[in-house]
Amino acid sequence: MSAADGRARAGVLSTPHGDVPTPVFMPVGTQGTVKCLTQDQVHSTGASILLANAYHLMLRPGARVVAEAGGLQAWSGWRAPMLTDSGGYQLFSLARLAEVRDEGVIFRSHIDGSQIFLSPEDVIRVQNLLGADIIMPLDDCVGFPAARGRAAESARRTTLWARRSRDAHKSDEQALFGIVQGSTFADLRRESAHELAALDLPGYAIGGVSVGEGADLIREVVDLTVACLPPERPRYLMGVGLPGDLVDAVAAGVDMFDCVVPTRNGRNGWAFTFSGLVRVKNSPYARDSAPIEDGCDCYACRNCTRSYIRHLFNAGEFSGMTLVSIHNLRFYMRLLEGAREAILRGCFESYRARVKASFQ
């Protein structure tokens, strides 16, 4: 950590593929690519680290295919740092296809229906082959609302799997983070965080949020969890991505974020701006010669009007999705670049208030 303003902090995350200034947003490239964008287009938004998903890459094309190509960066053409998620959330979202035990997860592939057993050790072996700079252990994610007994089981199992993952991890070039679970139960969250901290891992993630509990509960869970994590280690909030939620989490002391929100919304014609959301497909923009957002330096805003982008969507041209996705990712980079600058200047709370006012 290089600076702090309250609990908000600015630092640098060092990886084998380069340094990442924090707080940072990681675009989601589940299959090794961000939907509708090339790696150069993602890089042009200011993204310094990309997230991919080990579960999906294990099923297709297979971790060994990626390893034989030189690892994720060489295979995908993304030359900067990468993080791979284990797929715990995907198995949660595919719960009807999965059976969770302490030994691991038995599930059916969503691609061909074949039955697969995946242990925590298997997940680490897959990610060792993929070669990302930061890797995540298998975790047992539960939705909201969760019965206390199920939440306690999830937290216990996630810690068990983290310990086994640490023991199975063989690469000094990859940082293995832990994942805190416990649903919305404060005591379970604290216990999970303390047990994971005792494993002395390079970083820690807050998992099991943004699964239906709403912004107020997310904020409560993040605040209490961060307070239990080692202050000298990076903190990663998984899957939370609305602008107001991000600046609230930065205020609590979170350093890293990922979410599909900017690109999913971009593909549907919703553009994020510092004045709020713009539904660029709407009829008022048919003759609008302004960019998506005045003052934005992304490719879309430097070269295209709202009228043109609206036309692309109405004509069924995929380039409309690409342009708004580029803009949205650049907005998220500017959002957290602004947060970092505000922390360094000691005025983060006023910056946070301005962002939240735009998205009431």
- Find the catalytic residue in 139, 248, 255, 258: 258
- Find the catalytic residue in 5, 85, 139, 248: 85
Instruction: Find all residues with CB under 8 Å of 64, minimum gap 6, and list them.
Output: 129
How many Å apart are CA 130 and CA 144, to the nearest integer?
Answer: 32
Q: Nearest Cα to 328, choosing from 219, 247, 242, 251?
A: 242
Active-site residue flag, 85: yes
Active-site residue flag, 258: yes
How many Å apart are CA 207 and CA 86, to the nearest integer?
Answer: 12
How many Å apart are CA 326 and CA 292, to the nearest integer?
Answer: 11
Residues with active-site annotation: 85, 258
